[in-house]
Copies of this chain bind each other. A is one copy, B any other.
Amino acid sequence: MDAQLEGLKYDANGMIPAIVQDHATGEVLMMAWMNRESLAKTAETGKTHFYSRSRGKLWLKGETSGHVQTVKSIATDCDKDTLLIKVEQAGAACHDGYYSCFYREYQPKSDWKVVGRKVFEPEKVYR
């Protein structure tokens, strides 16, 4: 693996959080975890790959839905323990059908309000 990427700070489980942002609009799309292998694969292929801690496996974002993310840049923070990846998003980032996973906003003394824009119907994409 590239020394730059090896030099990042992975947590005790070998993971680093990756924030994914739309390179054109600046919308934050999602946050997911990468291990060294998924990050190396992301850098090599130009498509985001993550590591699912619940399923214990590497996944290509969009492998089922076709909603892949094409990498425009990879940045890290002052502590080198978080990534910010700017992408071009095909379709939508969220499996609930919204363009961004952050589609719910806090409303004091009320309940989470859906503010995101819905792009597709999940039941038509995931069978």
Contact = CB atoms under 8 A, between A and B. Distances in A.
Contacts of A17: 17, 31
Q: Is the interface of A mostly helix, strand, loop or mixed?
A: loop
A36 interface: no
A77 B4 contact: no
Interface in A56-97: 73-80, 82, 84, 94-96
Nearest to A19: B19
Q: List the number of copies, as a whole number.
A: 2
A17 B16 CA distance: 12
A117 interface: no
A81 to B, nearest CB: 9
Contacts of A80: 104
